[in-house]
Amino acid sequence: MSSVASDYHVGAAPRPMSKEERKVILASSLGTVFEWYDFYLYGSLAAVIGANFFSQFPETTRNIFALLAFAAGFLVRPFGALVFGRLGDMVGRKYTFLITILIMGSSTFVVGILPTSDAIGLAAPIILIVLRLLQGLALGGEYGGAATYVAEHAPHGRRGFYTSFIQVTATAGLFMSLLVILFTQQIVGPDNFRAWGWRVPFLVSIALLAISVWIRLQMEESPAFQKMKAEGTHSKAPISEAFFVWKNAKIALFALLGLVAGQAVVWYTGQFYALFFLGQVLKVDAFTTNMLIAWSLVLGSGGFVFFGWLSDKIGRKPIILGGCLIAALTYFPLFKLLSAEANPDLARAHSTISVQVVADPATCSFQFNPTGTARFTEPCDVAKAALARASVNYRVENAPAGSVAGVRIQGGDILRADSPTFARDLSAALTQAGYPAASNPSVVKMSSPFDILGEQQLVLIGILTLLVIYVTMVYGPIAAALVELFPTRIRYTSMSLPYHIGNGWFGGLLPATSFAMIAQTGDVYFGLWYPIVIALMTVVIGIFFVPETKDRDIYAADSAPR
């Protein structure tokens, strides 16, 4: 077995990527693309799914249940990391992440053939939620398996480059799901798509599953796991050894707080929050928003591989922590420039029109609502939420206890938030004061995917591409860094949990947290403090507590229990 692993030790002579190694990367990357494709389909089609599987409820309630089912997939990801991480450390990487893709692909296909609530009643949403939980569990096990498998096949000194291909997969999976949905809608038409065409993207996953399984069945177990198995040094209790032995648990904790948490918020800000900010805050239409993001992904995604390669030369920490720091220092000017270019009239209104919420502070809530189930009905909350949805900058002015909350615009009369005509009165007053309509002529608008040569489009694509480059800096080297932090015997378990807590919870909570912060303060940019603070925390903890790992021999001194 030592001869099998000899190319992977420190001091091995540099050599080109072998045919087998290319196959390993292809198998792991394609499978992970398909897993992310399956996972994102539900998020993209949540409204349609809500109408088909929660039809017995009013529209607002059914949308809440649909979003809850989507959130369930994120919440169980860390548990999937524990279940499949343990299995991967005990029986092997190859067979474990073969199981994860079978579960993910099968669950997605079943969604495509599942009868709706009109046909089988309450059983439909129950089965749907079970399938979502299975998808989340499978995804929790997939990433750690793919990253570990590729890293353990990579020659020493090239692990950053090899694993960087895995890092492209989440973006590619999202991109693929959106393309399949778009083409299906174009072919069958909007009415047929809502009725039955939404099933097509889910059914297509069976072909993707077959390809992935066929490729993965051709692969061999990783050299590091083979070596450990032959020596009889594999862990009998990976979870206990990884998280209940302090010398290992503290590494997982530092990996979470000093690497993954910052990576997660930069990743979500550069892709999902930018999408939310353009559409919900700056009122750019959905087609233009998606096209701007798509172009930035096309132009910036090569950074995953570049920064993975660069991390083999200069280290993982300088790139990951550098990306977190640069992002934290530049988010405010970049998002303000985004506003000025995407919707100049709205940006001008933000800086020139005075709006106050006048309220007893005791009646105002912090509107944190990650599941969509909470209801904020106090007049102060109604006023704040209405202004936040309208992308209005405002400040809060404290009123005497017991006062009914209201909104004052440009020093005028207070519009009481408990009035039955409050929404209409507020809209009219904002328009009269100078806030533009959502469809004002200054808003950027693309007529086709290739309508990118205007000044607004070019500047916006440039800003968004820079945000994607930040994403590639923090995400490109992360798999190699996590693999190298932990010994082979508990590697799959140890790296999977911090990764999925960081991305599923720190990153997944970003949109809800940022919106609550905007509503609380009245500043459309205040939500950026969430990723900025987390990224800066990661920089500090990473500098002092996370070791550089690029020169580690992941085969050496790995047999002793820890």
Q: Establish if 332 belongs to a structural domain.
A: yes
The Cα–Cα gap between 304 and 297 comes to 11
Kindly indicate the confidence band of residue 64, based on its pLDDT and cuts at 50, 70 and 90. Answer: low
Provide the token pair at 188.
């069958």
Same domain, 264 and 325: yes
Same domain, 167 and 213: yes
Kindly indicate the confidence band of residue 370, based on its pLDDT and cuts at 50, 70 and 90. Answer: low
What is the per-residue pLDDT for 495? Answer: 87
Q: Establish if 303 belongs to a structural domain.
A: yes
Same domain, 8 and 121: yes
Same domain, 298 and 421: no
Same domain, 17 and 78: yes
Same domain, 64 and 209: yes
Same domain, 230 and 296: no
What global pTM score does this model have?
0.85
The Cα–Cα gap between 259 and 321 comes to 7
Whole domain around residue 384: which residue ranges?
354-433
What is the per-residue pLDDT for 371? Answer: 52
Domain boundary among 234, 256, 271: 234
Same domain, 303 and 165: no
Q: Which of 225-229, 321-325, 447-451 has the lowest mean pLDDT?
A: 225-229
Same domain, 94 and 158: yes
* Res. 491: pLDDT tops 80: yes
Q: Establish if 348 belongs to a structural domain.
A: no
Q: Establish if 99 belongs to a structural domain.
A: yes
Q: Establish if 316 belongs to a structural domain.
A: yes
Phi, psi angles (nearest 5°) of residue 379: -55, -40
- The residue with greater pLDDT, 65 or 244, is 244
Q: Is residue 355 left, alpha or beta, with left meaning phi > 0 and alpha meaning psi from -120 to 50?
A: beta
Kindly indicate the confidence band of residue 3, based on its pLDDT and cuts at 50, 70 and 90. Answer: very low
* Res. 283: pLDDT tops 70: yes
Q: What percent of the chain has pLDDT over 70?
A: 91
Same domain, 243 and 143: no
Q: Establish if 473 belongs to a structural domain.
A: yes
200-214: average pLDDT: 87
Domain boundary among 433, 463, 479: 433
Quote the mean pLDDT of the chain.
85
Kindly indicate the confidence band of residue 562, based on its pLDDT and cuts at 50, 70 and 90. Answer: very low
511-531: average pLDDT: 86
Tens of pLDDT, residue by residue over 132-170, are 888 888 888 887 888 888 888 888 888 999 899 888 887
Regarding beta strands 395-398 and 355-359, do their DSSP bridges make them parallel or antiparallel, or are they unpaired?
A: parallel
Domain boundary among 199, 234, 269: 234
For residue 429, the domain's CATH number is: 3.40.30
Q: Establish if 75 belongs to a structural domain.
A: yes
- The residue with greater pLDDT, 143 or 69, is 143
* Res. 62: pLDDT tops 80: no
502-520: average pLDDT: 81
Q: Establish if 420 belongs to a structural domain.
A: yes
Tens of pLDDT, residue by residue over 18-55, are 777 777 787 778 777 876 787 678 767 877 887 888 77
The contacts found for 49-54 with CB under 8 angstroms, 24 or more apart, are 49/128, 49/198, 51/194, 52/116, 52/117, 52/118, 52/198, 53/114, 53/116, 53/117, 53/124, 53/125, 53/128, 54/117, 54/125
As for how many domains the chain has, the answer is: 3
467-473: average pLDDT: 96
Same domain, 130 and 223: yes
The Cα–Cα gap between 89 and 249 comes to 16
* Res. 2: pLDDT tops 50: no
What is the per-residue pLDDT for 554? Answer: 76
Same domain, 88 and 197: yes
For residue 112, the domain's CATH number is: 1.20.1250.20
What is the per-residue pLDDT for 557? Answer: 44
* Res. 6: pLDDT tops 70: no
